[in-house]
Structure 1
């Protein structure tokens, strides 16, 4: 199929061969806006499509995907100056997600001999990164363990090895032995309803940045009541963690991000109508495809958002048949 792009936006067609001589073509277009005064304005520099398969999070061209993700990169800021704690909130329609950011803390011995978090240090900003969320990898020392009766009894030698928190290997705060917890760092981004109190707490890691492709939280899409649910498979390729993954984001949906701009400024806008459409002609048949909003990527520092639009069509391969696709601007395309 020949693809032409009649817009100034970064766009691509990705064909994918399937069984029975059929092909599914995915059409992608990205548009970058400035966010100002609760409105969107076309940015002077348009951000490219993310099609590098080596990215640590899902790229734009993931084939099996039928959801909308909302991500934000940048920093969590106190409302003014420096603080020990601040909160970022992302609201999409009537659904919201909050993250509490703390200054640096470590585990320390309390008066009673137990472990308690130290007072957080004051900060000017905390990076919205999965490295600051709960998780991590620890080095486990070699040891001898006793085997249960079901394993024949006796003892076994376990060599030195790494042990990690499967929901977020990149984070910090994961500890497997209280004896080695002292002076170890706690996460700086926490779920407000799962604040860490004990060294062996295992909270849900939270962050608005793109979620690693291998993160264990993705299992929530397909694992329910101890059973595999195939119907959620298309959600596995969402760029966001499940908390900010949506079945769809309709035009007019209000999106608001608070706590990630200096001085308490909020970034607010409404999801626009599709600015592009794809006309597909296969043989003598023609079809106009209106794409769906696939990903909302907010760069809070720049005050910009990149919206990714996706459409797809499936067709059979017929020898010498003419196949064409053209990306065109719609009436919703921003002018000027």
Structure 2
């Protein structure tokens, strides 16, 4: 499956089976700051922060479609001003959801009475701090259900996260645990909605979900963090004592909307839209961030959704949808074999227009590409400065010689260096550079054709054909090396003999012919040229086909060698164009 999306969207995928039908659940994420909830940030930044805020054992999302909206909160609670306090409250309000949890310092039961809480400044909001413990099915991770051993002593600790409406008042109290994070799918609050997995299920529905599964099973948040319907966007958000520096944070649910399309390996619909709804808001208040998850579901045939050929995801402003034709055009551009990889950098095609007043944020960076472009910009500026100094020296040198540099066309200054393109502008930048290069190439080709026309006319006046000369020159460039050591040595001997006959012996040439080492070097040279030719022949023009007489001579030489039985004699022969059939 190919995925087309901006670098500010993640896609969570999960295939599930229900009533012998397969479905692909798609979660499109938007990671936004609380102070600018319409500004999506890079998914790289999201996953880096998720790893820090959720820890190694937690999952951002289970990837299943939810029947209504819910809010999840990860992180720590902080006392106001960072001052140690015995207790304080943490509050999360999102639209109609308004939940308060008391954060209390460590306590334990002594003779049926709780000790005074130890002052604290912060506390992780995990289920291990809420009421529960081993043996308490509703929260086996918690604290307070039964005494535990600590430093060789049995102590009965109290939970540090409590529901203010159901405070623990005695060691025998069994209040429901209070926290903001997701419920484990195996806990009773969820598991009792998972359906019946019996022999009938094994016979008819395995490995799918049970037929009587309650969709509420897919809800991960505690019941008091769920909506009656889905998020519409712009719901008010108020957070208290969940940020290390700001005791109160206010925001609103992002008003972004998600669009999702797919194509199938077999089908007549070129681009099929998958409707999405905002079913999950994940708050990371410690870093003032929010993750909105828009969910869509599509029927599929394969258990790995292999029948889905391509996915396209985008974000829009709520109430300002782009036409389907826009996404069809983007789809075609991204799949273009020539320019698709480059156009993939242009996120603006799949994102809403940014708010001009939106603040620049430190995690706006997308990977290392932005750094690379900036580094190249620094190198370009340094190179430009060196060129400017050289130009200044050249002008001064000309003036020292009494020459006016302006009259000679030496520029007074260089044009300013072009700023490196933003990643989003890279496709347009490359297209502009390629267009300019094509223009320069066309101009050079036109000048070359003009020069060839002049040369062609001048040669014609002398009875010569320029095109034939060019073709002959090209053909001579191809084929194996023309250096043959035996032929070269024979010519050397002829030259030496001619010198002796004229009474002017060529002593150096004679010495070379008598030197076995020199002759061995010539043979190594021939061998090296042949090796180099064999390695690069596919990059060279084709070998010239010899004329008919030469081809006949080649055939005759081969036949004679075969008839004599001296096949080894043919080693190294150039049989280009020989007809040996």
TM interval, shorter chain, is 0.7 to 0.9
Contact 1:135 1:170 in 2 (8 A): yes
Q: What stretches of structure 1 of length at least 5 have no aligned partner? A: 110-114, 138-163, 224-229
State which of 196, 218, 221 in structure 2 corresponds to 1:237.
Answer: 218
Greater per-residue helix proportion: 2
Q: CA deviation at 1:56?
A: 5.9
**Matched-pair contact (CA < 8 Å) for 2:27–2:63:** no
The aligned residue for residue 124 of structure 1 is 121
In 1, the alpha carbon distance for the partners of 2:173 and 2:298 equals 47
For the residue of structure 2 that corresponds to 1:30, the secondary structure is strand
In the TM superposition, 1:126-165 aligns within 5 A as 126-137=123-134, 164-165=135-136
- Corresponding residue of 1:143: none
Q: Deviations over 1:80-133 (max 9, x none)?
A: 312111001111212311100111101012xxxxx1111111111121111110
What residue is the counterpart of 2:274 in the other structure? 289
1:199 to 165, 168, 171: 171
Counterpart for residue 5 of structure 2: 6
Whole-angstrom distance in 2 between the partners of 1:169 and 1:64: 26
Q: Please name the residue that 1:63 is paired with.
A: 64
In the TM superposition, what are the counterparts of 1:237-256 in structure 2 within 5 Å?
237-246=218-227, 247-256=229-238
Gap change, CA 1:231 and 1:334, over 3 Å in 2: farther
Distance in structure 1 (CA, Å) of the matches to 2:214 and 2:60: 16
Match of 2:89 in 1: 87
User: Take 2:170 and 2:40, find their aligned partners in 1: how far apart are those partners?
Assistant: 48
Deviation at 1:295, TM superposition (A): 2.0
Distance across 2 between alignment mates of 1:232 and 1:31: 29
Q: Which has the higher contact order (CA 8 A, sep 6+)?
A: 1
Structure 1 residues 126 and 284: CA distance shift in structure 2, 3 A? same
2:139 is the counterpart of 1:184: no
Rg (Cα) greater in structure: 2
Report the equivalent of 2:283. 298
CA shift digits 1:18-47 (9 cap, x unpaired): 666x542222222211222x7453335442
Q: 1:105 to 1:335 in 2, by over 3 A?
A: farther
Cα pair distance change 1:198/1:222, threshold 3 Å: farther
CA deviation after TM superposition for structure 1 residue 214, in Å: 2.1
CA change 1:182–1:315 in 2 (3 A) is: closer
Label 1:15 to 1:131 Cα distance change in 2 as closer, same or farther (>3 A).
closer
**Runs of 5+ in structure 2 lacking a partner?**
51-55, 196-210, 319-350, 355-581
SS of alignment partner, residue 137 of structure 2: coil
* Residue correspondences, number: 286
Work out whether 1:278 is the aligned partner of 2:263: no
Q: How does 1:10-21 map to 2 (within 5 A)?
A: 10-16=10-16
Tell whether the 8 Å contact from 2:4 to 2:310 is kept in structure 1 after alignment: no
- String of CA shifts for 1:114-168, please: whole Å, max 9, x gaps: x11111111111211111100002xxxxxxxxxxxxxxxxxxxxxxxxxx11110
Structure-2-length-normalised TM-score: 0.44
Q: Residues 5 and 11 of structure 1 are in contact (CA less than 8 Å); yes or no, is this contact kept in structure 2?
A: no
Q: What's 2:324 paired with?
A: none
Contact 1:56 1:213 in 2 (8 A): no
Contact kept, 8 Å, 2:142 with 2:159, in 1: the verdict is: yes
What residue number does 1:41 align with? 39
Deviation (angstroms), 1:70: 1.1
Q: Which residue is 2:551 aligned to?
A: none
Q: 1:272 to 1:128 in 2, by over 3 A?
A: same
CA contact (8 A) 1:175 1:200 kept: no
> What is the alpha-carbon root mean square deviation over aligned residues?
3.3
2:255, 2:317 within 8 Å by CA — same for their partners in 1? no
**Quick one: structure 1 residues 322 and 93, their matched pair in 2 at CA, closer, same or farther if it must change by over 3 Å?**
closer
